[in-house]
Structure 1
Amino acid sequence: MLIKGYDDGPLVAGEPLMTRPGFWSNHLMGMCDDGAGHPVPEWFGDDGADADALSEVLFDPGHWPVFRVPAAEGPGVVVVYRNQPGDYGIDYLLTPPGRSSTEQLTDWEGDLAENGLTWHELVRIADTPVHEAEGAADPAARLLLVLPLLNDLDLPAAAPARLGAALAAAGSPQDTVTHTAESLLAHLMGRSRHDADWASPLSGGY
């Protein structure tokens, strides 16, 4: 697998990891906020052993998992686990339509930079898979993959239910899924907001 700017990285297709126990807790648990700071893998239907075992695969410096989220309408996203010793991060790359290149949108090293996408843009990406292309095709998984990019000044009322449905589809228990969705959104919406002149990276068109 080749991605411009990652010539020295041992990139591998990450999509097969999404169905393994422990994946979603590794990908999302660090963004949870339950008011006490104690999220657990069980929120995502995992247990601690699953999460630990999968983390050894996800964060292996010898393999950098790549998760592709191509979109039929507008730009898609590529998520790269950049397991560079001393320079670890999760990079989120924008893939303009009709182009094979990617453009870095933001990265997450404990928290995301201020770049991000609106909820409606995330839903558009989630709901418009390119079935003939390589990458994640399930809308629920696609939404969860790109969820860390959420940076919206006006989150719609339907967002928690949509996120909860995606989490449930990915294995989160029904009795805690609402709390998990609310905890994720509480963290994401707690980020510093853009000023009134902020425009989404997608708003300029490609």
Structure 2
Amino acid sequence: MSARLFSLLFLVGTSCAQFVPGTDTGNGLQNGCSVTPADTLGPYYVPNSPVSRTMCLGTSDDDYMFVKGTVYDVNCHPVHGANVEVWQADKTGLYYDDRCRVQFTADQQGKYSFVTTVPGKYLLGYYYRPAHIHYRVTAPGYREIITQLYFSHDDSLGANDPCGSACNSGSAELIMDIRAPTADDLVQIAQLVTFPISKVVEFNPVMSH
């Protein structure tokens, strides 16, 4: 496969991953919602994280992102009240037990959002793991989701990930584009922090019963 064709397929995959479940596919049909692919919990999970929608905050010069999404079920209905736990490495690639990890509850429409720094990459053996944010999503009557959110155009994704088959960074459903904020995003960001944020990522976990 040529490098140009591979790049095209990769971009198509990441675009599809951001398709909002249940929206019109263009042929008059509604797309179903597939359960979010699993990924490893990793060695740095700590239960009972603080309840907050900001984490990994440092100086105003750090590289921040606004992460938002909706928790759905396989029928493309929002899962209101889902508990979302997220944790990540800080900007230098280090994990801590007492920071860069929070939990919060999705609202009545299944929506959630939080502000964090762009996670740093860290060496695993001789190679870097792709930047990622860990997710654990739970809700009464649903199977928990344990997965990781990755970012497009990271040269450590997929076959280049030293985590190998234990991780799932080659899954297009877990690789999201980083985009500029919309006017609505800016309103939501201003409710969480007072400094400007130029990066937004959307990730919509899908749960099964």
What is the TM-score with the length of structure 1 in the denominator? 0.34
Q: Say which structure, 1 or 2, has more relative contact order (CA 8 Å, 6+ apart).
A: 2
Larger strand proportion, structure 1 or 2? 2
What is the TM-score with the length of structure 2 in the denominator? 0.34
